[in-house]
Every structure is written in structure tokens, then in C-alpha cells.
Structure 1
Amino acid sequence: MRRSRTVAIVRVVVAVAVVVALVWGVARNWTEISQDLQRVSIGALLLSFVPAALGTWLTMVGWRVILADLGSPLHLAPAGGVFFVGQLGKYLPGSVWTVLVQADMASHLHVPRRRTGVTGLVTIGLSVLTGLLVGLPALPLLLQRSAGSSGWLLLAVPLLVVLVWPALLNRLIAWGLRVLRREPLEETLSTRAILTTVGLYALAWVLFGVHILVLALAVGGGTGVTLASLTGYALAGSLGMLTVILPAGLGARDGILAIVLASAMPLSAGTAVALVSRFVVTLVDVLAAAAGWAYARRHHLVTSREEREHSSGETVPEKP
């Protein structure tokens, strides 16, 4: 108990420190950043919203493909309700809230919690690996090295091996369930489902990159802005997902993206793009979750306090 409490405190402290550092950096350069923010018109903002929304939708479709392959096919509407509401869990420090919420909601659709949990963890892993693969061209930009060097392409080899080797992934899943003392899954993942999901996630990362490109062009990006935008968000987003102690990669994703974009524009402009992108992507998540919540409430995938009282026959005490 003491150890878990210490880990929780450390997570909160680190998350707060990163956010404070981000706020301090923005405040220190606010004069330049605010000028770049003013260049983003309402039209550019709305235009950037479209590819961001499509990318978010494809992420859900990939999750649905994996869940169906494991034995629980869902129609798009209930799948969206479960996925998008659960996605709000990524805005909390930690790494399991999204999976826990999705498992609870999907259980109302007679999907075993274990199956939903594995689906959530597998899709997170595939999303990170695919994002790193799509974002590899941005790595030399982040490290401020020559983008013409091809040595970094060798990093794609292990990523591709994991992504296209279903036997390895299935063994990892089986091993993880044994460690957690859970029953094995009834089905294993097929090559077709994995490759389909990887393709959907790759396209989703590219769409998020298009969303960045629209904003970068609005603030006046220079030579190389297309490469930095289309690959920079994938690199920043996937690395941000690895920082599980930060809510939705807050601070890490934005900082990495700003640095990558700084290869094609002033750092203040890159920071402005990262801030606007954070707003757009968060708005997409909230709107998708709101639609998902409306569907979930209508179809009893989530229960209210009154419904829990009625089902248990007991009165749930009010929180102080």
C-alpha cells in the first residue's frame, strides 16, 4: 500500500512539474507566441478539425477490428460509444483508466472484460509502434541532425517485425494473462486483423499530420514544413503515449512537436501550432465522447446512481 501511494505521488509530482514547465515556457515567450496564434484564422481552425476528427474515427475502427477478431464483433454505434467514452480516461494520470472504462461499458454488451482489456492494451501498443514508424522521418528533425541521413531507417526493422508477426504478439498476450493469473483468450489475433489495424492507425497518424500541416501553413511555415508536420505529430504523439504519468501526453507531446516544427519555422510558431493542435484534438475527443455517452446512456451501457440503487435494492449513501 505504501509503495503504491508513493508511486501515485511521484506520478502526480512529475505530471505537475512537466505542466508547470510547459506553462512557464509559453509565458516566457508569450509575446511571440501570441502573434503567431493570431495568424490562425477561424477557417484554418475549422479545416484542421476535419482530419483530426477522421483520425480519431479511424482509431476507433482499428480498436473495433481487434475486438471482433478476438470474438466480440460490435456494430459501429456501440463500438463508438464504448471507445470514445473510454478515451477520456487518457486525460487522467496513469495508464489503465481508458481500458478499465471500456471494459466496464463493453460488459453491458456481453463482451468479457478480459477480452476488452486485452483489446485496449493491444491497440495502444499497435498505435505507439505505428506512430513511431510513421514518425521516424521526424526523428532527425527532433535531434537536429541531417534529415538526409538514412541510418535512422534501420530503426524501422524491429518495429515492422513486431507489427507483422502475429505469433509473437499472441505469445506476449498469453504470457501476460498467465502472469496476471487470468484465463487465456478463446481466440488469437489473425494476421489480417493486425495488418488491417496497423493500416488504419498509419492512416490515422497521417491524418493527424495533415491537421498539423493546415495549422503550420496558417502561421507561415517554411521549407520542410510538410515533412515536419506529416511525421512530427506521429512521433510526438507516440512518444507522448509512452509517458503514461502525463494526462494524454500533456507537455511531452506538445514540446516534441514544437521542436520538430522548429526545423521549418520559428520555435514560437511551432509552439503556437502545438497549442492550437492540443485544443483541436481535445475538442474532438470531448465531442466524440459526448456522442458516445449519449448512445451509451440510451442503451444502458452506463448506469446512473438511481439505477444502481434500484438494481441492488440498497440506498447508496451520498458523498460528503
Structure 2
Amino acid sequence: MSEVIPVPDDRRARRPVRQTVKILFGVLAVGLLVAAVYSQRNEFMEAVSRLAWTTVVLSFVLGLVALFANMMSWRGAMAGVGAPLPMAAAARVFLISQLGKYVPGSVWPVLVQVELTKERGISRVRSTTGALVGMAVGVVTSASVASVLLVTSAQDALDDYWFVLLVVPLGVTALTPPVLRRLLTVAAKATRKEIVPPDLTWRGLLTSSAWSALMWVAFGFHAWVVVRDLLPDGAPGIALTIGAFALAWLVGFLMILAPAGVGVRELALVVALGGALSVPDALALALVSRVLLTVGDAIAGGGALFLARPHRKLHAEIAHE
């Protein structure tokens, strides 16, 4: 009877290396995140000294609500491309991926999502498509929210810039499954990638869009409670603040793709609220918001990274897709 010689599994051999890389990435991301907060500590403490502690806590909690809504929007996008995830798994993947925002290079969150979802048997094509769909939803909803609320918050603006509202029907059309899938196919061909995006579902896109809209509302209230404390008698309305925050995010996102330097979103927020806030107040708002949201990313992402358990059960039929 011949002896059976076991053949080493290359995937098992690579696992320790991959796990080490993940740990090093997590340490690097958290380290850069902490450094970003530490570098702004003096300015942040000066701005916070003008606020009640209840304002800071409430703004921080609202930032976490926005982060949760963002995660749910991404989860909806993943379901829309045929890769549904349980709540706990989606939270783990998304929150850890958000640490990648603080590593130089704008592709890290997507790469982390692709790597972590692969452990659950989701192919790279589906996870990448899900990430791109999530980005598209974020861009369209932010543009729609910003255009509607900024233009309609003042009658003069509505009279002069009514045509900006045309972005809403255009955006809604772009987010329909047939159109969005076609756009993704064109984008893949433009980058010379032989990738055929999976079919998209109406339910997934609608769910993702609804959570994304809720995210902008939460972000707006996160900023508005700070503004109300800075200017109790002359704070801008909540609609203007929500629209300004959505616009600031959109500008920062597009400039990062261009790419651009640090602080673009904060500058856009200052400009958007320039007519309602003085420059010092707008800068204080931008700084407090940035630090609180960064701390929120650190706590949520760091907690998910610490509590994460490797998921090694791969579904062969999906993994080989």
C-alpha cells in the first residue's frame, strides 16, 4: 500500500503572512489617526473651551449615528450587487476599512473591504463593485441634498440658482440599476479592466440611498448643535447646515480623487457657511467636527479591529467566481 504524501495548502501557508500584514496595517492606520488628532490638540481645546460639554458629547454621538448610517448604506450597496452581509460582519468590515482613510492614498478603504469580504467567500469583483456602488450613492445623495437644501434655504438663491436642482433627477436616474451598471461597465473599459459588473437590485440601491440620506441628516445635526452653541442667537438654520456639510463632503471626495491636500472639506465647510458664520466661528466648527469624527472612527474602527475574529470558511463556488 503506497504512502500518501500530504500536499501543502498554499492558502494556509500564506495566512500567517496575510494576518501579519493586516495587523501592521491596523497599527499604521491607528497610529496615523492618533497623530492627526494629536497635531490639532491645542486648536481643538481652544475651540472646545467655547462649548458646553453637553454640546461636545451630543455632537460626538450624532457623528457616531452618521457613521452607523454610512455603514448601513454600504451594506445596502453590497446587498445590491448580490453580496449580502450579516449586521455584525458588515460592521466589522466597514468600520475597520474606515481606518484606511488616514493612510496616504485614497484606495485603502476599498482594498480593506475587498480583503475582509473575501474571507467570507465574496469575490473581488463583487466587493469592488459594491464599494463603487456605495461611493456612487454617496456622491449622488450628497449632491442632491446639498443642491436642494442650499438653494431652497434662501429665496434669493432659489431665484438665481434654481437650475442647480436639476442635479436631483439626473442623480436619481444615474442610481437606477440599468444605468448604474452601464456606467460601471464603461468605467471598467476605460481603465482597461476586463470586468463585468454583477447585476444590481432595486432594493439594494434604494436601501443604500435611504441610509445615505439619513447619514447627511445626522452629519448636519452633528454640526448644527455646535453652531447653536457658538451662536445661540444667530445660528444658521438646520437645512443650511445639512446642505453645507453634504457639499463639504462632496468637494473633499472629488478633490481627493483629483487628488488634493489635507483640509479640503473643512475649507469647503467654511466657505459654504461663510455667509452665516464669521470665519473664526466657521473654522472652530470645522475643527471640532473633524476631531470628533476622527475620534469616532478611531473608537469604532479600533474596537472592530480588536474584537475581530478571522472568518476562514470560504464558499468555493463564490471564491472561484
TM-score over 0.5 for the pair: yes
Letter aligned with residue 57 of structure 1: F
2:157 paired with 1:147:
yes
Distance in 2 of aligned mates of 1:99 and 1:85: 11
Letter aligned with residue 217 of structure 1: R
Distance in 2 of aligned mates of 1:215 and 1:71: 40
Large movers: runs of 4+ above 6 Å: 246-249
Structure 2: stretches of 5+ with no match in the other structure: 1-38, 313-321
Letter aligned with residue 173 of structure 1: L
Using a 3 Å threshold, how does the CA distance of structure 1 residues 109 and 193 change in structure 2: closer, same or farther?
same
The superposition leaves residues 209-256 of structure 1 with CA deviations (integer Å, 9 ceiling, x where unpaired) of 010001100111525342331211111011111112699973111011
**Counterparts of residues 166-245 of structure 1 (less than 5 Å):** 166-178=177-189, 179-185=191-197, 187-220=198-231, 222=234, 224-244=236-256
User: Does the 8 A contact of 1:34 with 1:272 survive in 2?
Assistant: no
Between 204-213 and 242-251, the greater mean CA deviation after superposition: 242-251
**Counterparts of residues 1-320 of structure 1 (less than 5 Å):** 37-137=48-148, 139=150, 146-149=156-159, 150-163=162-175, 165-178=176-189, 179-185=191-197, 187-220=198-231, 222=234, 224-244=236-256, 250-296=262-308, 298-300=309-311
Identity score, percent: 31
Between 118-127 and 151-160, the greater mean CA deviation after superposition: 151-160
Matched residue of 2:51: which SS?
coil
Matched residue of 1:202: which SS?
helix
Using a 3 Å threshold, how does the CA distance of structure 1 residues 156 and 107 change in structure 2: closer, same or farther?
same
Distance in 2 of aligned mates of 1:48 and 1:248: 27
User: Does the 8 A contact of 1:83 with 1:102 survive in 2?
Assistant: yes
User: Does the 8 A contact of 1:232 with 1:260 survive in 2?
Assistant: yes
Using a 3 Å threshold, how does the CA distance of structure 1 residues 112 and 157 change in structure 2: closer, same or farther?
same
Matched residue of 1:243: which SS?
helix
Using a 3 Å threshold, how does the CA distance of structure 1 residues 46 and 34 change in structure 2: closer, same or farther?
closer
Structure 1: stretches of 5+ with no match in the other structure: 1-22, 302-320
Letter aligned with residue 200 of structure 1: W
User: Does the 8 A contact of 1:225 with 1:264 survive in 2?
Assistant: no
Distance in 2 of aligned mates of 1:50 and 1:78: 22
Between 251-260 and 201-210, the greater mean CA deviation after superposition: 251-260
Matched residue of 1:264: which SS?
coil
How far the C-alpha of 1:107 sits from its partner, in A, is: 1.0
User: Does the 8 A contact of 1:224 with 1:263 survive in 2?
Assistant: no
User: Does the 8 A contact of 1:228 with 1:263 survive in 2?
Assistant: no
Distance in 2 of aligned mates of 1:260 and 1:275: 15
Using a 3 Å threshold, how does the CA distance of structure 1 residues 157 and 69 change in structure 2: closer, same or farther?
closer
The superposition leaves residues 81-135 of structure 1 with CA deviations (integer Å, 9 ceiling, x where unpaired) of 1111111222234331111111011111111112111111111121011111111
Distance in 1 of aligned mates of 2:60 and 2:291: 10
TM-align CA RMSD: 2.9
Distance in 1 of aligned mates of 2:117 and 2:57: 33
Distance in 2 of aligned mates of 1:69 and 1:35: 45
Paired residues in the alignment total: 268
Distance in 1 of aligned mates of 2:72 and 2:271: 31
Letter aligned with residue 124 of structure 1: M
Distance in 2 of aligned mates of 1:225 and 1:263: 12
How far the C-alpha of 1:69 sits from its partner, in A, is: 2.7
Using a 3 Å threshold, how does the CA distance of structure 1 residues 127 and 168 change in structure 2: closer, same or farther?
same
Using a 3 Å threshold, how does the CA distance of structure 1 residues 177 and 295 change in structure 2: closer, same or farther?
farther
How far the C-alpha of 1:145 sits from its partner, in A, is: 10
Using a 3 Å threshold, how does the CA distance of structure 1 residues 123 and 245 change in structure 2: closer, same or farther?
closer
Letter aligned with residue 50 of structure 1: V
Distance in 1 of aligned mates of 2:62 and 2:262: 21
Distance in 1 of aligned mates of 2:219 and 2:259: 19
Distance in 2 of aligned mates of 1:274 and 1:42: 17
Letter aligned with residue 271 of structure 2: I
User: Does the 8 A contact of 2:69 with 2:215 survive in 1?
Assistant: yes
> TM-score normalized by structure 1?
0.75
The superposition leaves residues 40-72 of structure 1 with CA deviations (integer Å, 9 ceiling, x where unpaired) of 122101001122111111111111122123222
